[in-house]
Every structure is written in structure tokens, then in C-alpha cells.
Amino acid sequence: QVQLVESGGELVQAGGSLRLSCEASGRTLSGHVVGWFRQAPGLEREFVAAIKWSSRHTVYADSVKGRFTISRDSTKNTVYLQMSSLKPEDTAVYYCAADRQIIWSSIPNPNQYDYWGQGTQVTVSS
């Protein structure tokens, strides 16, 4: 079992930056794919970015490409999402998720992930 805890969400002005953290416990994230998703009120959960732990291969949604960076720290068993040039439309609850058995083409599908954190709120004011 993997327990995931997100942190770092807060209120920020448009154009600002935030770094979200997803700390894992219970077992190492080695061998997992870790993804970030977000969900705004009334909308479906949306893929943001993912990283393959072993290879550090990354993938991003078009809406965040060039603004967000996903990375991992194996010494802390933690995945980060560095967000810059934030826009009001980035406002959402951000979740991290992990899974060991997921094919690369299925990474944007939230139903493919077994482990989820509780989420952290990011609010971007205009």
C-alpha cells in the first residue's frame, strides 16, 4: 500500500508560482508512475502531468506544457509539481496519484491509478 499526501496549495496571484509536493509513505515509489491531476468545481478530474519514477520520463497536458514541471526526489520519496505563470483557470484541487502497472498511453486516465492523495487547493486570483 502507498499513502500519498499532497501539500503546497494556496492562494496566489495570476502570474505567480507554486510548488506542490506529493510525499509517499508505506512503500517506495520506485517502479511507479506518479501523476498529478486537478479538479475544478463542476468539472471532471483532469490530467496535468506524470513522471515514470525509474526513467524520469515525463508527460504534460497541453494546457500546462511550458509552465509546469514535474520532478521527483528519491531520497524523500516525493514528487513535485513546480507551477509557474499561473492563470485563474489553473484554480482547482490538485491530486497526486500512483500506480505500478500502467502503460504509458493510459497515463492521462485517472481510472488507471490505484493510489490517491487527499488533494490540495490551488486558487489563482486575477
Tens digits of per-residue pLDDT, 111-124?
999 999 999 999 99
Per residue, the 3-state secondary structure of 46-66, as one string, reads: EEEEEEECCCCCEEECCCCCC
Supply the pLDDT for residue 104: 85
CA distance 35 to 104: 11
Q: Please check whether residue 36 is in contact with residue 61, taking contact to mean a CB–CB distance below 8 angstroms.
A: no
Supply the pLDDT for residue 101: 87
Distances (CA, A) of 98 to 14, 17, 77: 29, 24, 12
Tens digits of per-residue pLDDT, 28-81?
999 999 999 999 999 999 999 999 999 899 999 999 999 999 999 999 999 999
Supply the pLDDT for residue 9: 98
